[in-house]
Amino acid sequence: MPWARLRALLNSVKQCFFLSKESRISRERHAHRVVPEIVQLLRDGDWTALRAHFTLVLRWLLKESVLKNAFDLVKVGTGPIVSVSEPVISIGWFITTVRLPVQFKRAQLVLSMPMTASGKLLGLQCSLQHMFGLSNQWQTPPYADDTKFEAHTITLSASGYKVSGVATVPATSDSHPCVILLSGSGPCDADSSVGAAKPFKDLSIGLACRGLATIRFDKVTFANGKRVRRNKAFTLTDEYVPHALAAVDYCLKHLRGKAIYLLGHSLGAYVAPKIAIMDQRIAGCILLACPSGPMYRSAIRQLEYFANMDDPSDEHPLSQIEDLRRQAEVADSPDLSKSTPASSLPLGIGATYWLDMRNYSPVEDCKYLQKPILCLQGGRDYQVTSDDYQCFIDNLESKANFQHKLYDELNHLMIAGTGTPGPLEYETPGNVDEAVIEDIGKWIDACSASTT
């Protein structure tokens, strides 16, 4: 009798904490019914009907204009919705989470929709597919040889923030030149992952196979995103300098690097000359797809590029471009101060960040820098363009320590492609072109030879 009572008690507890099969099936069916409705409302721009799909509390907080502006901002970069795939549905006790792969004109994103058991939305977010493991997978580059290198995880600490990283070294006991990799804008992981591409992983493998050690690491904005967002005094210097210098320390202490080089990509390249001037232990700079001016200028150019690809009757990209231009004028204004609200500044980033960038120019720092500089650019790059590249050439070509090369078929990630460049091609598996790795290796060899 006691055992029967215990079994009945356990069954009661189980029913309280585990959903029945019938309940799961019912909620999955409901999600399958609601999701197409939401997608159609996004396509139609019916913000009143879309707002009605949210919970009562969120309906009080969300205005139709908020939903419209948020989705317009997404469409500027991606274009309109083209198609959707089968949703991935996760059933929790209180929440059903739907992740819907969505094919836009220029990108593949995931629409994440947490909802109540009754199907009311608790949120609606567009994210990159690789964040949910739904994108095409990175492929090992053809130049990889596992017998020629070793990789191990490291931790870098600076300014109260810890980040994880990877040290990749040639599989010999000799000391080697070491290249420290600096990612572009945004919260990048150590591989600088974008869609199916991992350009920093490619570079680390390729350079190690060629006898060069590398250190790559998560950006502080990736590893400590919430803390960084709360820090209203956070600057471009904070974003890059402390952990770059910590990587230099690690290289000298643990890798016995013969010479240390910085390799920056995009915004990482933008700040690399500044760091090279700050630390005499750095022997030179490699700049991949380096902007010549503030990143909001590059952002405006990208929006203009997308607008030229879209239907001329679509006013959304044009309004977003004008908004960003007005915000750029505020950032450039001599009246910019720490009290200027972030909402009136480019990308919603606070005034302290733009004030830190105000008097900085990578071109001017390269003029001052008495160290070797290698500037590499993809001819198919629509994010940092040949105009930026030409600016460096015009100002630095007379310097004996400056070399440059343009790769006609490569995009912003230094990966080969064809057709009209756009974000969608980042979803196609590809690797950093071997010619880039070979040219970097030869350049470092020449730098090493000139110092011996």
Residue 132: HSE in the Cβ half-sphere, 13 Å Cα cutoff: 22
CA distances from 155 to 174, 179, 242, 268 (A): 23, 17, 13, 19
Q: How many residues does the chain have?
A: 452
Q: Which residue has the tokens 């959304």?
A: 316
Q: b/e for 345-369, b at 16 or more Cβ within 10 A? A: bbeebbbbbbbbbeeebbbebbeeb
The strand pairing partners of 54, in sequence order, are: 121
In SS3 terms, the chain reads as CHHHHHHHHHHHHHHHHCCCHHHHHHHHHHHHHHHHHHHHHHHHCCHHHHHCCECHHHHHHCCHHHHHHHHHHHHHHHCCEEEECCCEEEECCCEEEEEEEEEECCCEEEEEEEEECCCCECCCEEEEHHHHCCCCCCCCCCCCCHHHEEEEEEEEEECCEEEEEEEEEECCCCCCCEEEEECCCCCCCCCCCECCECHHHHHHHHHHHCCCEEEEECCHHHHCHHHHHHCCCCCHHHHHHHHHHHHHHHHHHHHCCCCEEEEEECHHHHHHHHHHHHCCCEEEEEEECCCCCCHHHHHHHHHHHHHHHCCCCCCHHHHHHHHHHHHHHHHHCCCCCCCCCHHHCHHHCCHHHHHHHCCCCHHHHHHHCCCCEEEEEECCCCCCCHHHHHHHHHHHCCCCCEEEEEECCECCCCEECCCCCCHHHHHCCCCECHHHHHHHHHHHHHHHHHCC
Look up residue 166 and give its two tokens.
């990877």
Look up residue 179 and give its two tokens.
């290249």
pTM for this one?
0.82
**Torsions phi, psi for 426 (to 5 deg):** -70, -15
d(CA 238, CA 190): 17
Return the pLDDT at 361: 95
Are 422 and 128 in contact by the 8 Å Cβ rule? The answer is no
d(CA 331, CA 353): 10
271: nearest Cα among 348, 203, 350, 360: 360
d(CA 397, CA 285): 15
Return the pLDDT at 14: 42
Return the pLDDT at 7: 56
Strands 108-116 and 95-104: antiparallel
Q: Which residues of the chain fall below pLDDT 50?
A: 1, 9-17
**Phi-psi group of 276: left, alpha or beta (phi > 0 → left; psi -120 to 50 → alpha; rest → beta):** alpha
Return the pLDDT at 13: 39
Task: Give the domains, in start order, of the chain with CATH numbers.
Answer: 17-132 (3.10.450.590), 146-293+361-450 (3.40.50.1820)
Residue 64: HSE in the Cβ half-sphere, 13 Å Cα cutoff: 8
Return the pLDDT at 213: 96
**Which residues have a Cβ under 8 Å from the Cβ of 139 and sit 6 or more positions away?**
196, 429, 430, 431
The strand pairing partners of 420, in sequence order, are: none
d(CA 28, CA 319): 39
Return the pLDDT at 452: 61
